[in-house]
């Protein structure tokens, strides 16, 4: 079956990036970078867009290779906005989340593209992107740096399960095809060491970063709800635990809090039914994905009840904007909270989550705002978008130096 691939060359005026381009030394080589990933959605997509734009504005030739069947209108608009900056274009082919026979056709399409574009860097993001970027044959005479950034994915499966063992075996085998690991958090780097093992390959931690403009404080809208959840609607994000916490607050404390749920996902119908079964239908409002700052302005406190994460952008964005926040203690979230990490809540503990929510809602508003501002200042010093782009380029260069 032929692969449906399209090369996008769009001429729309892009929205200006709210950060200075990554500087490039006049003596540094001009890279030809092809970013490979699956779904143009969520934090991984935002990371690739930010990095690709900064690399392009720094004088490098950049292109994207991703799935053609996910992302919808939001992805199409984002890719159309970025496409004028991408001299290596945007190529989209059908991909599946899990292993699938169509992977063979997708790798073949990527191989043809790499032979034509001759990239100096193949940078895979996420499990499938990392698989494709490291396995794809590129022909003789081309030896690109093969970089890999895990974004949770296979590393978030519960240790000891068959899928976890399978994916860690695959990660170990793929290590031989990796020149540099650019982990987005110390947490994922630690998971790699624990479950794949030590490696002689180059490893760097390159934290996700955000732009200066994102540190503008949120202006609350009129009549805000008590709480907001923003993210994918699936059970792994802990939304059922959040619903149970709200039910406990009503039953044990007589407190009826309102919640705005912003997002979409495979478990939306199940979650709606769960809220109704707990008697929360009148207190929980579901809305489709929207701009995060607009959603944050509609509630007093944001809640992140996740069961597993890497280094989530939704928390970085909310913390930067000084939004009061209650979150679980999973993945790389403690790296974002730094000295404030002791306030994080154990995952799957509805009672602890309920207590943390009640404490934050009942807190003196001045103290609540002060704590949020202090956390925003901590993040501003450590999670810079420019640093993220520059550290990635440095990782490519260090890997190339190992090539000789």
pLDDT of residue 13: 30
Cα distances (angstroms) measured from residue 5 to each of 62, 110, 213, 356: 18, 10, 36, 49
Residue 28: which pLDDT band, with cuts at 50, 70 and 90? low
Q: How many whole angstroms separate alpha carbon 164 and alpha carbon 59?
A: 40
- 46/111 same-domain check: yes
200-237 confidence digits (pLDDT tens): 999 999 999 999 999 999 999 999 999 999 999 998 89
What's the pLDDT score for residue 370? 97
Residue 191, CB half-sphere, CA atoms under 13 Å: how many? 27
Q: What ranges make up the beta strands (E) of 121-235?
A: 121-125, 145-149, 180-183, 202-205, 225-230
Same domain, 192 and 223: no
Same domain, 174 and 126: yes
54 and 194: one domain? yes
Residues 154 and 239 occupy one common structural domain: no
Is the predicted pLDDT of residue 20 greater than 60, yes or no? no
How many residues can be counted in the chain? 404
382, 207 Cβ separation under 8 angstroms:
yes
**And the tokens for 356?**
């943390």
- Per cent of the chain over pLDDT 70 is 93
Residue 24 within any structural domain of the chain:
no
Tokens 């079964």 sit at which residue?
277
Q: Residue 342: is its pLDDT beyond 50?
A: yes
73 part of a folded domain: yes
Both 336 and 350 in one domain: the answer is yes
33 falls in which pLDDT band (50, 70, 90)?
very high
Tell me what pLDDT residue 25 has.
Answer: 44
Mark whether 343 and 392 lie in a shared domain.
no
Per-residue pLDDT tens over the stretch 86-144: 999 999 999 998 889 999 999 999 999 999 999 999 999 999 999 999 999 998 888 99
Q: Quick one: pLDDT at residue 29?
A: 62
Together in a domain, 36 and 119 = yes
* Residue 392 to residue 123: CA distance in whole angstroms: 10
- Asked if 62 contacts 88 with a C-beta cutoff of 8 angstroms, the reply is yes
Reply yes or no on whether the pLDDT at 26 is more than 60: no
The reply to whether 63 falls in a domain is yes
Tens of pLDDT, residues 42-76: 889 999 999 999 999 999 999 999 999 999 998 99
Are 144 and 33 in a shared domain?
A: yes
Phi first, then psi, for residue 217 (nearest 5°) are -60, 145
User: Are 188 and 150 spatial neighbours (Cβ–Cβ below 8 Å)?
Assistant: yes
Confidence of residue 174 (pLDDT cuts 50, 70, 90): very high
Tokens, residue 159: 């240790």
Alpha helix stretches (DSSP H) within 176-312: 186-195, 239-253, 268-277, 292-296
Q: Which tokens hold the place of 381? A: 């010093």
Return the residue matching tokens 């540099």. 180
CA–CA dist 140, 117 (Å, integer): 13
Indicate whether 374 belongs to any domain.
yes
Q: Tell me the pairing of strands 225-230 and 202-205.
A: unpaired
- For 39, other C-beta atoms within 10 Å of its C-beta total 18
Strand order, beta sheet including 259-262: 284-287, 259-262, 225-230, 299-304, 325-327
258, 373: one domain: yes
Regarding whether 113 and 236 lie in a shared domain, the answer is no
Q: In what order do the strands lie in the sheet with 121-125?
A: 6-8, 90-93, 61-67, 32-36, 121-125, 145-149, 180-183, 202-205
Q: Is residue 147 part of a domain?
A: yes
* Stretch (H or E) spanning 90: strand 90-93
Domain annotation covers residue 87 = yes
Mean residue pLDDT across the chain: 91
Which is it for strands 202-205 and 180-183: parallel, antiparallel or unpaired? parallel
Could you tell me the residue range of the domain that residue 237 belongs to? 213-382
CATH number at residue 256: 3.40.50.2000
Q: Report the pLDDT value the prediction gives residue 107, as an integer from 0 to 100.
A: 97
Sign of CA dihedral 210, 285, 236, 37: negative
Asked if residue 1 belongs to a domain, the reply is no
Residue range 256-312, pLDDT digits in tens: 999 999 999 899 999 999 999 999 999 999 999 999 999 999 999 999 999 999 899
Read off the DSSP letter of residue 44: H
Confidence of residue 156 (pLDDT cuts 50, 70, 90): confident
> For residues 274 and 244, is the Cβ–Cβ distance under 8 A?
no
Q: Please tell me the pTM assigned to this model.
A: 0.87
The answer to the question of residue 347 being in a domain is yes
| Burial environment of residue 147 by CB neighbours within 10 A (0 to 12, 13 to 18, 19 or more) | buried
Domain count within the chain: 2
In the predicted model, what is the mean pLDDT of residues 187-201? 93
195 and 107 both lie in a single domain: yes
């Amino acid at each position: 079956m032929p692969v449906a691939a399209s090369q996008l060359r769009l001429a729309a005026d892009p929205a200006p990036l709210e950060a200075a381009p990554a500087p490039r030394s006049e003596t540094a080589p001009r890279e030809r970078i092809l970013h490979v990933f699956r779904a143009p959605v969520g934090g991984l997509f935002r990371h690739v867009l930010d990095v690709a734009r900064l690399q392009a504005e720094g004088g490098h030739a950049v292109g994207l290779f991703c799935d053609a069947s996910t992302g919808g209108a939001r992805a199409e608009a984002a890719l159309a906005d970025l496409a004028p900056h991408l001299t290596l274009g945007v190529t989209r082919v059908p991909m599946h989340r899990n292993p699938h026979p169509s992977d063979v056709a997708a790798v073949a399409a990527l191989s043809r593209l790499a032979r034509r574009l001759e990239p100096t860097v193949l940078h895979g993001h996420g499990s499938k992107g990392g698989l494709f970027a490291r396995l794809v044959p590129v022909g003789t005479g081309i030896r690109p740096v093969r970089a890999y950034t895990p974004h949770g994915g296979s590393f978030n499966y519960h240790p000891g399960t068959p899928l976890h063992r399978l994916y860690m075996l695959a990660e170990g085998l793929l290590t031989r095809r990796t020149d540099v690991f650019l982990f987005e958090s110390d947490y994922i780097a630690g998971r790699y060491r624990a479950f794949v093992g030590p490696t002689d390959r180059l490893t760097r931690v390159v934290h996700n970063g955000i732009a200066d403009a994102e540190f503008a404080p949120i202006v609350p809208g009129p009549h805000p709800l008590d709480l907001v959840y923003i993210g994918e609607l699936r059970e792994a994000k802990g939304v059922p635990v959040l619903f149970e916490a709200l039910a406990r607050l009503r039953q044990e404390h007589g407190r009826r809090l309102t919640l705005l749920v912003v997002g979409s996902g495979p478990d939306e119908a199940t979650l709606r039914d769960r809220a109704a079964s707990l008697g929360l239908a009148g207190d929980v409002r579901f809305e489709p994905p929207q701009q995060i700052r607009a959603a944050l302005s509609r509630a007093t406190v944001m809640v992140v009840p996740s069961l597993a994460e890497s280094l989530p952008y939704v928390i970085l964005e909310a913390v930067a904007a000084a939004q009061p926040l209650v979150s679980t203690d999973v993945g790389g979230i403690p790296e974002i909270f730094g000295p404030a990490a002791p306030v994080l809540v154990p995952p799957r503990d509805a009672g602890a989550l309920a207590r943390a929510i009640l404490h934050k809602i009942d807190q003196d508003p001045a103290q609540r705002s002060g704590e949020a501002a202090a956390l925003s200042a901590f993040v501003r010093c450590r999670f810079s978008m420019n640093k993220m782009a520059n550290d990635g380029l440095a990782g490519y260069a260090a890997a190339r130096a190992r090539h000789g």
